[in-house]
Structure 1
Amino acid sequence: MSNSVDASKLVDRVAALVEAAKKAGADAADAVAVRGRSSSVSVRLGKVESTQSAESDDISLRVFVGQRVASVSATAASDAKTLAERAVAMARVSPEDPFQGLADPSLLATSVRDLDLLDNTEVPSDRLKEDALAAEEAALAVKGVTNSSGSGASAGLGGLVLATSHGFLGQYVGSRFSRSTSVVAGEGTGMERDYEFSSRIHFADLDSPEEIGRKAGERTVRRLNARKVKTGQVTVVFEPRVARGIAGHLAGAINGAAVARRTSFLRDMMGKQVASSVVTVTDDPLRMRGPASRPFDGEGIEGEALEMVKDGILQHWFLSTSAARELGLKTNGRGARSGTSVSPTSTNIAIEPGEKTPEELIGAIKSGFYVTEVFGQGVNMVTGEYSRGASGFWIENGEITYPVSEVTIASNLKDMFLAITPASDIDRNFGTAAPTLVIEGMTLAGN
């Protein structure tokens, strides 16, 4: 795949759309182009199953007429004048929305930072195939692995071009490379499956195919001969892969749009304790090489690093311009373009690590449950109720022992956040990051 990133035509295109919107009678407008390029290869049992390549340039125009707003999507070939006139006509018959509008001009980024998000390495399909095959081969070589669910490798890039009628014009592009493999161990009803993957912005930072395959095989074999355990109150330890989901639930609960709609269980908790006093949660859109970094948001604002939760106390919501206005606040540059709309999102969010290693925390647990996978959709973001199917390993006298499956863990996210103890082992190669998390007092439903 060629990582060609010449976006000059898209810059001209979005600028022309904004100009056409003003001529058509819009009081304000912005236009965005989202560029995507990707190629991938998937293999299974030594044979290529699919090879895919995709390219797209999606353009949208948003216009404001008074307090009325309308958005239209387009292709790069659409006529700017026709598109703008249609958007303005739609806006004039739309209901008024007092919270919509462009961001305050004083908040706009005055320059676009280079966050080292683009690696121009070209990865041909043959290399993607070789990497996928090597990962699968390494996984199948692990004793106890009986079959493959498939292996893959991909390379791609994505970028954003934004123009607004109050003078902002900016663009950025980022690359993404990944490798993954999934295998099966055991036979019949005793089969188990697990996986390993690596996803990075720079190609050289990827874990090797052999390491990914070996870890996938070892994770899968460890799960064989799983048992159920007795129902009761237990201390639950979430490995980082699963702990990232807990961080994601927290991000959703402090999203300004959910707070404005009153669909978050933390909607009345600003300035109050929402987590254990040892918990600090950061969000940094400007991290160099960060997996979710961006030099400006979907409205042209350069967000700054924030402590969303400090020592357990809630400090900020994630805010776009419209969500901030609805809450009587000021945006903090977390607006993301989603189709033709702007919604607040986290960027590089992390539950910051604690002082003790996972081994030290687990060593202090007489009996507990080390969770390596959760499934099911049992999370209610309005009430905080949490109930997920889970599998992992039983902890006995500070040691991880036999595998456990077919159990359910349950609590309320409010109580879970207040009971979190984070370990020291964070991996920041994910847009949502968390270390191993220990949560006391959850209910385990088993035998």
Structure 2
Amino acid sequence: MSSEIDSSTLLSRASQLIDLARKAGADAADAVVVRSRSQSVSVRLGKVEGTESSESDDFSLRVFIGKRVASVSANPGFDLRALAERAVAMAKVSPEDPFACLADEASLAKSYPDLQLLDTTEVSSEMLREAGLAAEAAALAVKGVTNSSGAGASAGMGGLVLATSHGFEGSYMASRFGHSVSVIAGEGTGMERDYDFDSRLYYAELDDPAEIGRRAGERVVKRINPRQVPTGKDVTVIFDPRVARGFVGHIAGAINGAAVARKSSFLRDRMGQQVLKSGLSITDDPLIVRGPSSRPFDGEGVSGERLVMIEDGVLKHWFLSTSTARELGLQTNGRGVRGGTAVSPSSTNLALEPGDITPEELILSVGNGFYVTELIGHGVNMITGEYSRGATGFWIENGELTFPVSEVTIASNLKDMFMRLTPANDIDRKFGVAAPTFAIEGMTLAGR
């Protein structure tokens, strides 16, 4: 374990790679190593279906010559000099990019806190197998569950090693453990499927596998014998936290600086304006201790800070990396992420901050409406904001969940949905995108 955590050798190779790139003619360069270690076990109907284990250290070198840039990738064992010379040769014939550059030296992290992202607990394949079997057995024990789609458990770690030609050197590692199960209820054409899972940085904080299985079983049994409901044009829709997180992801996409620069966001002209209902805020914080998406510095060596991206309904910030910020005439806010050889902006620990009422009070206030537990399809146009997706869930009558509903479509425009959103107080911050249950008024529901 210690050799996997110690990044000194990788940092040394990254620094050598930069030195060789400068000697080959690069004006500036950075080298990154994305480190990954994982193992998983999948089971179905009491038997192991698969066991997987992987590990990798993926190197990427990015070089700059004037306004020209090129990137190359390699696995361990490559020839440092040959890679550096190839990257420089590529940069010399690349088209100019007026926005590509390293982060300003003044914005680089000089020091950073210990965010406690790494749990060194050793988890064996046998422990993973037992967890998967326990989750599946608990789900199958729920009355009405008829079959299993499988269960699994996983353990791993990943991290980043970064060195730049203007003096930054840093590394961090984060662990990740998970349990999941998916089961079926009903028979023939009346079969329904549902699932549950948990994912944590620390193994001891994982939900008990049997509890995960029980929840999955109870969820799927409630979905048996769904109905369609009549079409309506002014329906209040409540989003279960599982689908609420995905919806908040749409907000994140709309305020991503890269989308704004490409003019592919429907919020691109709304900086400083109200985009959510008054009183609502979206926060993003990369420095939460043991946060699921925390990081001491971003993919360019910049330390981010907690930002209120949308404050009291008003848009305050874009997610920005250095090149995206330059294109927009702004400064990076430490949201750059390495993806292969590219750097692009992204959120960290993103949250739609909760409201003051319980989910039960929110459902009661709706009277009649639709509670969504699963969304189907990808009918979201981020340029126009048009939103139309298949949905399943439960009908709300007189403030209570009643019968299951399937084969309906909910539709509106994200601009209107943002302004009609009312959150409950049940936020769970163990996910990188966190959101409470929330209601959206005035949606169109297409049913029978």
Write the letter of the residue equivalent to 1:443.
T
- Cα shift at 1:64: 0.1
Query: 2:70 corresponds to which residue?
Result: 70
Structure 2 matches for 1:104-123, cutoff 5 A?
A: 104-123=104-123
Query: 1:135 corresponds to which residue?
Result: 135
Query: 1:346 corresponds to which residue?
Result: 347
- Deviates most, 145-154 or 78-87: 78-87
Q: Do residues 153 (structure 1) and 149 (structure 2) align?
A: no
- Cα shift at 1:278: 2.5
Structure 2 matches for 1:8-47, cutoff 5 A?
A: 8-47=8-47
SS in 2 for 1:130: helix
- Distance, in Å, in 2 between the alignment partners of 1:120 and 1:259 is 40
- Deviates most, 345-354 or 104-113: 104-113
Query: 1:256 corresponds to which residue?
Result: 257
Post-superposition CA distance 1:46-70 (Å, at most 9, x none) = 0000000000000000000000000
- Distance, in Å, in 2 between the alignment partners of 1:10 and 1:297 is 18
Q: Do residues 296 (structure 1) and 300 (structure 2) align?
A: no
Post-superposition CA distance 1:263-322 (Å, at most 9, x none) = 000000000011111210000000011111000000000000000000110000000000
Q: Does the CA-based 8 Å contact 1:117-1:289 persist in structure 2?
A: yes
- Distance, in Å, in 2 between the alignment partners of 1:254 and 1:62 is 27
- Cα shift at 1:361: 1.0
Query: 1:59 corresponds to which residue?
Result: 59
- Distance, in Å, in 2 between the alignment partners of 1:273 and 1:385 is 19
- Cα shift at 1:230: 0.3
Report the identity percentage. Answer: 71
Query: 2:282 corresponds to which residue?
Result: 281
Write the letter of the residue equivalent to 2:148.
S
Q: Do residues 430 (structure 1) and 431 (structure 2) align?
A: yes
- Distance, in Å, in 1 between the alignment partners of 2:355 and 2:391 is 25
Query: 1:97 corresponds to which residue?
Result: 97
- Distance, in Å, in 2 between the alignment partners of 1:76 and 1:137 is 42
SS in 2 for 1:167: coil
Q: Does the CA-based 8 Å contact 1:3-1:121 persist in structure 2?
A: no
Query: 1:269 corresponds to which residue?
Result: 270
- Cα shift at 1:222: 0.4
Query: 2:322 corresponds to which residue?
Result: 321
- Distance, in Å, in 2 between the alignment partners of 1:292 and 1:319 is 16
- Cα shift at 1:111: 1.4
Post-superposition CA distance 1:211-237 (Å, at most 9, x none) = 000000000000011100000020000
Write the letter of the residue equivalent to 2:313.
G
- Distance, in Å, in 2 between the alignment partners of 1:323 and 1:119 is 34
- Distance, in Å, in 2 between the alignment partners of 1:138 and 1:79 is 52
Q: Residues 16 and 3 of structure 1: is their aligned pair in 2 closer, same or farther, counting only changes over 3 Å?
A: closer
SS in 1 for 2:380: coil
Structure 1 unaligned regions, length at least 5 = none
- Distance, in Å, in 2 between the alignment partners of 1:406 and 1:255 is 32
- Distance, in Å, in 1 between the alignment partners of 2:86 and 2:65 is 13
- Cα shift at 1:161: 0.2
Query: 1:84 corresponds to which residue?
Result: 84
- Cα shift at 1:3: 8.6
- Distance, in Å, in 1 between the alignment partners of 2:235 and 2:55 is 49
Structure 2 matches for 1:288-437, cutoff 5 A?
A: 288-437=289-438
SS in 1 for 2:258: helix
Write the letter of the residue equivalent to 1:296.
F
Write the letter of the residue equivalent to 2:254.
A
- Distance, in Å, in 2 between the alignment partners of 1:37 and 1:327 is 37
Write the letter of the residue equivalent to 2:171.
Q
Q: Does the CA-based 8 Å contact 1:354-1:423 persist in structure 2?
A: yes
Write the letter of the residue equivalent to 1:320.
S
- Cα shift at 1:2: 8.7
Q: Please give the TM-score of this superposition, normalised by the length of structure 1.
A: 0.99
- Distance, in Å, in 2 between the alignment partners of 1:361 and 1:195 is 25
SS in 2 for 1:4: helix
Query: 2:218 corresponds to which residue?
Result: 218
Q: Please give the TM-score of this superposition, normalised by the length of structure 2.
A: 0.99
- Distance, in Å, in 1 between the alignment partners of 2:3 and 2:436 is 33
Query: 2:444 corresponds to which residue?
Result: 443
- Distance, in Å, in 1 between the alignment partners of 2:226 and 2:365 is 24
Write the letter of the residue equivalent to 1:427.
D
Write the letter of the residue equivalent to 2:394.
F
SS in 2 for 1:441: strand
Q: Does the CA-based 8 Å contact 1:183-1:194 persist in structure 2?
A: yes
Q: Does the CA-based 8 Å contact 1:13-1:76 persist in structure 2?
A: no
- Distance, in Å, in 1 between the alignment partners of 2:11 and 2:127 is 33
- Distance, in Å, in 2 between the alignment partners of 1:28 and 1:388 is 46
Write the letter of the residue equivalent to 1:351.
L
Q: Does the CA-based 8 Å contact 1:3-1:122 persist in structure 2?
A: no
- Distance, in Å, in 2 between the alignment partners of 1:365 and 1:255 is 32
Query: 1:193 corresponds to which residue?
Result: 193
- Distance, in Å, in 2 between the alignment partners of 1:392 and 1:353 is 22
- Distance, in Å, in 2 between the alignment partners of 1:390 and 1:259 is 29
SS in 2 for 1:364: helix
Q: Residues 422 and 446 of structure 1: is their aligned pair in 2 closer, same or farther, counting only changes over 3 Å?
A: same
- Distance, in Å, in 2 between the alignment partners of 1:322 and 1:61 is 17
- Distance, in Å, in 2 between the alignment partners of 1:348 and 1:247 is 12
Structure 2 unaligned regions, length at least 5 = none
Aligned length: 447
SS in 1 for 2:134: helix
Query: 1:206 corresponds to which residue?
Result: 206
- Distance, in Å, in 2 between the alignment partners of 1:362 and 1:128 is 38
- Distance, in Å, in 2 between the alignment partners of 1:17 and 1:106 is 23
- Distance, in Å, in 2 between the alignment partners of 1:442 and 1:105 is 48
